[in-house]
Homo-oligomer: A and B are copies of this chain.
């Protein structure tokens, strides 16, 4: 799905929501284990049917499938084929796999997610540099979503590293010129390798103060924004700081939607949680126009 089609999909559905399918056998309603051979797929199928008209994208989190080995990968493959053939599709699909390896190995990961499975996009860790990212950029209509600034506490360990001299001077009250942080350098560098047609960036919503500078560095790229709760209290602020002329943002919510209820009503509860975010997004998109 190219950028034009993605923007049109978002505007048509009035939703820039991405639902994270962090589907864990230990967390899904236990009755599913009694009625289905593949309870992980059955959970996904019902979540998808209950929410597909409200969401622009789905994002299976690979770790949850891999923890069941080849059987987990089967559940994922079934989910992807179900999505590909869904009468209410198309919908944008993101493999949240955070892959990245030396060139010839990244090329194999690209085959896994873009050829063997029909994902539109894959999250990619930039630590190994250019040859680790490029194999994901050569598939027309497919996307590498580069981790720039993530939403977890550990994001503060390396991603915001910057030279120590300015920090030291600032400690003594000496104002220094602007100095780039690692995630900013990552975005600047990666822009040289890809385009807004095949590359997005992860920009965690837990760091609202950085969103404006992120948008300055990558004015045209789509941003995948994780870390927004079901209440979506921050949605307005995120949209104000990060939207661009093509909408340009996809906001993810995982557990707050798919685990909104642990009972037999899990799918209707998921729909209600998604609906709440959808309404806010539709309002934001209307106000923008």
Q: Interface of A with B (CB < 8 Å)?
A: 22, 24, 61, 63-64, 66-74, 76-77, 96, 98-103, 105-106, 108-109, 111-112, 115-117, 125-133, 147, 150-159, 161, 163-165, 182, 185-186, 189
Beta-carbon contact of B128 and A152 below 8 Å: yes
The 7 closest A-B pairs by CB, nearest first: A129-B154, A129-B157, A163-B163, A63-B108, A70-B73, A102-B152, A66-B112
Partner of A67, one of B111, B128, B133, B185: B111
Residues of chain B with a CB closer than 8 A to A154's CB: 102-103, 128-133
Partner of A158, one of B96, B99, B112, B126: B126
Partner of A186, one of B61, B151, B158: B158
Beta-carbon contact of A67 and B112 below 8 Å: yes
Given the interface pairs A63-B101, A70-B74, A116-B69, the reply to whether A128 lies near B111 with Cβ below 8 Å is no
Starting from the known contacts A63-B108, A98-B128, A103-B152, 10 additional A-B residue pairs (CB-CB under 8 Å) come to: A66-B116, A67-B116, A70-B70, A70-B74, A103-B153, A129-B152, A129-B155, A129-B156, A161-B182, A182-B182
A71 to B133, CA, bound (A): 25
Beta-carbon contact of B182 and A157 below 8 Å: no
Residues of chain B with a CB closer than 8 A to A102's CB: 150-152, 154
Q: What's the minimum C-beta distance from A170 to chain B, rounded to whole angstroms?
A: 14
Interface of A is mostly: helix
Partner of A105, one of B61, B115, B133: B61
Residue with the highest number of chain B CB atoms closer than 10 Å, among A63, A150, A189? A63
Q: What's the minimum C-beta distance from A175 to chain B, rounded to whole angstroms?
A: 16
Please name the residue on chain B nearest to A150 by beta carbon: B128
Beta-carbon contact of B127 and A126 below 8 Å: yes
Given the interface pairs A112-B63, A165-B165, the reply to whether A100 lies near B129 with Cβ below 8 Å is no
Given the interface pairs A77-B69, A127-B147, the reply to whether A189 lies near B157 with Cβ below 8 Å is yes
Partner of A129, one of B73, B132, B153, B164: B153
Beta-carbon contact of B158 and A182 below 8 Å: yes
A63 to B135, CA, bound (A): 13
Beta-carbon contact of B159 and A129 below 8 Å: yes
Residues of chain B with a CB closer than 8 A to A63's CB: 99, 101, 105-106, 108-109, 112
Please name the residue on chain B nearest to A131 by beta carbon: B154
Residues of chain B with a CB closer than 8 A to A189's CB: 157-158
Q: What's the minimum C-beta distance from A206 to chain B, rounded to whole angstroms?
A: 10
A188 to B276, CA, bound (A): 45
Beta-carbon contact of B117 and A69 below 8 Å: yes
A98 to B129, CA, bound (A): 14
Residues of chain B with a CB closer than 8 A to A66's CB: 73, 108-109, 112, 116
Residue with the highest number of chain B CB atoms closer than 10 Å, among A71, A111, A151, A152? A152
